Chain A
Amino acid sequence: MSNAATEYTLAELCIVASAEAFRYDGEVLATGIGVIPRLAASLAMKTFNPDLMMTDSESFLLSEPNPLGERPADFQPATETWMGFSRIFDNVWSGKRHAMLGPTQIDRFGQSNTSALGGTYAQPKVMMLGARGFPGNSISHPNSFFVPGHNDRVFLAGECDYVSSVGYNPARLPKGHALDDIDIRRVITDLCVMDFGGPEHQLRLLSLHPGVTAEQVQENTGFALCIGDSVPTTPAPTVEQLAIIAALDPHNQRASQIAGNPPGKRS
């Protein structure tokens, strides 16, 4: 790409790669939880999918994404409708939403865990948030995942300690449902981009971030990945994309999202 940037951070590469998840969504609510997913959804709306609907992360939908963090006192958000928490479910259960979230565990079925680790259910070793809205999200609308630290504790060898969201697990498939009803889109990490498009919904490597090898991704994943003969490199952000990201994130919150804020091109 002629206007590809030469200098960019890994966070910026992940934002651009994550934005791609929303490219062909059409008119759905894009919900990015966390700085990188939120900037990704915002970038997608500002560039290749202007039909996306955008939340203010509180209680309104916006015609233009809000910049992150403190805004000038005279800032006017581009509100277009009210979307408080009770109304969120009217949207979620209609299926007109694509969420991108960062669970603590993701297993080979694409099931995820936001609730508890280790111990017993009555007395977990590490209690986290709880099931949150993951059960409803996962059975109602498409979802993508962002993982800032790709390792085999996140992508664990076994099944999630607690299954918050449904995946492509035949043993848990509800009666009358097909595995193809479940719609997990992209999995973006600090190493690569993946989807569940391998044989029998196996997690598949789509692209490697610059300087990362397929072996490195497999070593950091607790189960076998579907890896093709030649895996492309994740495209660098364009100069224009970096400018839009900078305007959406004027306080540079993206710099603190991946440990050490490394450059996008790793040697």
Chain B
Amino acid sequence: MDKRMSAREAVAQIEDGMTVGIGGWGPRRKPMALVREILRSDLKDLTVVSYGGADVGMLCAAGKVKKLVFAFVSLDFIPLEPYFRQARQSGAIEVMEIDEGMLLLGLRAAAWSLPFMPTEVGLGTDVLTHNPQIKIIDSPYDDKEWVAMPALPLDVSLIHVDRADFRGVCQIAGPDHYMDDWFARAANNTIVSCDELVDTDFFHDPARAREVFWERSATSAIVEAPGGAHPSSCSPRYGFDVAHFKAYAASAKDGGINAYMEQYLGADEAEYQRNVGGLEAITSLALPTY
């Protein structure tokens, strides 16, 4: 089964009002080429589920988001994501603010077709005060109360990986695959962009096959997008673009998202890359030191 398609074809499968999970973590290995394609589309009223970075900030600022399911939104070295803050401080979006681990449990419940996962995480905090839809239950086995973290089923997940073949075998060669496997499993339709398209026999090396974190049946579409995580990182290929993130953050104070998109977004990924200095500049970005 050949799952290859263009970013535009893949994003055309998303409909207004859908719930969209986005892989990666903060400024790390975000499917930004796919996010940019959403920015170019007429999509609206999305529910976005993300360990958020600029993906969340951009989509909020561009008016694509009705509701955000999140634990944090951050660019790491710029701790507070400027456009996410604006969206919250202007009351522009609904939110389901939960703990990082609760988000993981919600994805797992969806992946396993369970209605909820029991946990003590969230008890005693405002996570529960502000999310009355999250129920507290008694245990059949002890006298404590427990949080019933509801499943977070996703209509679509967007993920960026290092390499993939045409059938949807996806390799994450970097140090962390984050929660991407659970985003892939929790979604009806998992769209994966890859820095490099490879032949199937690339994975006939067990060490490489160990870097494949979900079966290809959990991948619906493959989009070839070299440099597609920019301005987020795709370790070990390239780091995040500090200068670009600074310009992005500055645009929130002066000009807004329309000025940012006017300057960088372009009509397609090729034009975007020309606007940010080219693919070679992206793949030359130094890896961050933690």
Q: Size band of the A side of the interface?
A: 35 or more
Answer whether residue A135 sits at the interface, using C-beta atoms and an 8 A cutoff. Answer: yes
Question: Which of A20-28, A46-54, A86-94, A150-158 lies at the binding interface?
Answer: A86-94
Evaluate contact between A84 and B178: CB separation under 8 angstroms.
yes
Are the CB atoms of A92 and B101 closer together than 8 Å? Answer: yes
Chain A binding surface SS class: loop
Which of B34-42, B70-78, B215-223 makes up part of the contact surface?
B70-78
A167 to B125, CA, bound (A): 9
* Bound Cα distance A149, B81 (Å): 23
Which residue among B84, B121, B142 has the maximum number of chain A CB atoms within 10 Å of its CB?
Answer: B121
B208 within 8 A of partner (CB): no
Given A85-B179, A174-B144, A176-B145, verify A128-B124 contact (CB < 8 Å).
no
Bound CA–CA A266/B127 (angstroms): 41
Chain B at the A interface: SS class: loop
Kindly name the residue among A119, A131, A167 whose own CB sees the greatest number of chain B CB atoms within 10 A: A131
Known contacts A127-B84, A127-B88, A139 near B177 by CB under 8 Å: no
User: If the complex has contacts A129-B80, A134-B99, are A139 and B120 also in contact, measured as CB distance less than 8 A?
Assistant: yes
**Least Cβ–Cβ distance between A253 and chain B, in angstroms:** 11
A169 close to chain B: CB less than 8 A:
yes
Q: Are B120 and A140 in contact (CB-based, < 8 A)?
A: yes
Docked Cα-Cα span, A116 to B72, in Å, equals: 11
Q: Which residues of A contact B144 (CB under 8 A)?
A: 174-177
- Contacts between the two chains (Cβ within 8 Å), count: 139
Contact B176 A176 (CB under 8 A): no
For B99, the chain A residues whose CB sits under 8 A away are 131-136
Q: Are B121 and A176 in contact (CB under 8 A)?
A: no
On whether A165 and B71 interact (CB within 8 A), knowing A175-B144, A176-B142, the answer reads no
Interface string of B116-151 (1 = CB under 8 A from A): 000111111111011000000000001111000000
* B 248-280 binary contact with A (CB < 8 Å = 1; else 0): 000000000000000000000000000000000
User: How far is A128 from B82 in the complex, measured between Cα atoms in Å?
Assistant: 10
0/1 per residue, B213-242, Cβ < 8 Å to A?
000000000000000000000000000000
Taking a contact as CB atoms closer than 8 A, the residue among A57, A71, A119, A174 that contacts B123 in the complex is A174
Closest 4 pairs between A and B when the two form their complex, measured CB to CB: A176-B144, A123-B91, A166-B124, A127-B88
- On A, residues with C-beta under 8 Å from B are 56-60, 69-71, 84-86, 89, 92-93, 115-116, 119-136, 138-140, 162-167, 169, 172-177
23 contacts between A and B (CB under 8 A): A58-B175, A84-B175, A85-B25, A85-B100, A85-B178, A86-B177, A124-B88, A126-B89, A129-B79, A130-B70, A131-B71, A131-B72, A131-B125, A134-B99, A135-B98, A135-B125, A136-B99, A136-B119, A136-B122, A163-B129, A174-B144, A175-B145, A176-B145
